[in-house]
Amino acid sequence: MIKKLLFTAIILLLIASPGFAQTKTDSISLMPQTQLNAAQRLLSGNYGSAVTVGAYGEMLYNQPEGDNGELDIQRLVLLLGYRFNEKTQFVTELEFEHVNEVFVEQAFVNYAVGSNVSIRGGLMLVPMGIINEFHEPTTFNGTERPAMDNAIVPTTWRELGIGVAGRMNDLSLGYQAYVFNGFKSTEADSEGGVSGFLKGSNGLRSGRQKGIKSTVDSPTLSAKLDYYGIRGLRLGLSGYFGQTQAADDVEEIEGANIGISMIGLDARYAYKRFTARGQFIHASLSDTDAYNTLTGRDLGSALQGFYVEGAFNLLPRDKKQKLFAFTRFEKFNTHADTAGDLVANDAYDRTDVTTGLTYHLAPGVVVKGDYQIRSNESEVDTKNRLNFGIGVWF
C-alpha cells in the first residue's frame, strides 16, 4: 500500500506542477562521444527550469525453450533533478522493479567547482565498463543487458560516496574518481555462525549495499578515464580497489573480508550506419580461501569476462527512425581462478551469443527482439531464449 501511494503521489506531482520541465528527447544521442546517461542529462543545464523530470522503463517478454514465457515490467525509473543555483544541483533516480520493489538508484549533490570539474556526494553509480553508467533501454542493443554486466561488474552497481568528476578538453579526456563504501561480505547468522553474501555463481553481486543502511569499515577507491579525441570513438579505462565490509560482530574473524582489484576496458564506435562496442573486465579477489572456509561459500579468486558487438542500421541515414541488426558475443567466468581446495565449477564458465533487431521508433522509444544462444563448459544444459521488449526514455 505504501509503495502504491508513493508511486501515485509522484505521478500526481509531476502532472500537477506547471514549473516542471521535461528532459529534451533530442538530447538522446547514439554517438558515443556525445552520448549522455540519465543523470548527465539532468545535470547538463539546458532545460531552462530549476526542476527537471524524466523517466525510463522497460517492458519485456522472455521465452526460454520448453518453458512458459514471462511478461514483466522489469523496471520503471523516475528521474528528478533540482538546480539550486548555477553551481549546485541535486539528482535522484527512483526505481520500481517488477512493479512491487522500490529502490533509490541514485541520489547525489553535484557542486560545480569550475566549468569542467564538479564535486559529487551521495548515492552514485560506480564507473565500471559501459552498461553500469549507460543502461537506459535506448542506449544499448538487446532486450536484456549483457549477461557479463550482471555477473561480473555487477550492474546496476551503486554505492554511497564522494568524489570528483570533470573533463580536460585539451586532452579530450573525461575523468571520475570516488571514495565509496564497499561490498558487504559477511554477517553473523542466527545459529552463531557467519553468513557470506559473495558466491561463485554471481561473484560480488549479492554484496551490493545500494545505500541501504550500508556498513563501512575501509572505504574503496573507484576511478575512470574516458578518451573521446577520435571522431566516433570513445575509450574507457576503469579501476576499483579496496576491501569488502563485514558486520561489526564478525569483522575481526579471519576470512570475514576479502580484497578486490577490478580493472575494466571498454570501447564504443560509430561510423555512418555502423556501430560497435566491446568490453573486458577482470577482478582479482584475495583471501577467498579463508572466506570460503568461514562461510561455506564457493567464491572464486578471479572473475573475468568480455564481449564484442557489431550493429548495422538497415534504414537510410536520412531517416529519423533507425533499425539496427546486431550480434553480440559474450564470454564470462566467475570461476576464472579459484584458491585453496576449491575446484572451478565449469557451469560458471559461460558463453552467450545474442542476435536480433533494435528499432528506434523515435528518440527515446525503442522496440527490441532477439534470440540468445546460451551455453557453459559443463554438461548442464542452459536453455536458449527468445526475447522481446519495449523501452522508453524521456
Using one digit for the tens of pLDDT, what is the confidence trace for 356-365? 999 999 999 9
Q: Residue 26 — very low, low, confident or very high, per pLDDT cuts 50/70/90?
A: low
| CATH number (domain holding residue 341) | 2.40.160.10
Q: What is the mean pLDDT of residues 380-393?
A: 95
- Residue 214 C-beta-side C-alpha neighbours within 13 Å: 21
Q: Residue 16 — very low, low, confident or very high, per pLDDT cuts 50/70/90?
A: very low
The pLDDT assigned to 28 comes to 77
The pLDDT assigned to 369 comes to 98
Asked if residue 98 is part of any domain, the answer here is yes
b/e per residue 111-136 (b: at least 16 CB within 10 A): ebeeeeebebebbbbbbbbbbbbbbb
Asked if residue 286 is part of any domain, the answer here is yes
The pLDDT assigned to 20 comes to 56
Query: Is residue 8 predicted with pLDDT exceeding 70?
Result: no
Distance from CA of residue 361 to its chain's centroid? Answer: 24
Q: List the beta strands (DSSP E) in 126-273.
A: 158-168, 173-180, 184-188, 194-196, 220-227, 233-243, 245-246, 259-271
Q: pLDDT averaged over the chain?
A: 92
How many structural domains is the chain composed of? Answer: 1
Q: What are the residues facing 120 on neighbouring strands?
A: 110, 163
Domain of residue 86, residue span: 2-10+20-393
Which is more confident, 95 or 14?
Answer: 95
Grid cell at residue 367:
522496440
Asked if residue 15 is part of any domain, the answer here is no
Asked if residue 56 is part of any domain, the answer here is yes
Asked if residue 322 is part of any domain, the answer here is yes
The C-alpha angle with vertex 364 and arms to 71 and 101, in degrees rounded to 5, equals: 40
179 exposure class (CB count in 10 Å sphere: 0-12, 13-18, 19+): middle
Assess contact for 246 and 184: CB atoms under 8 A. yes
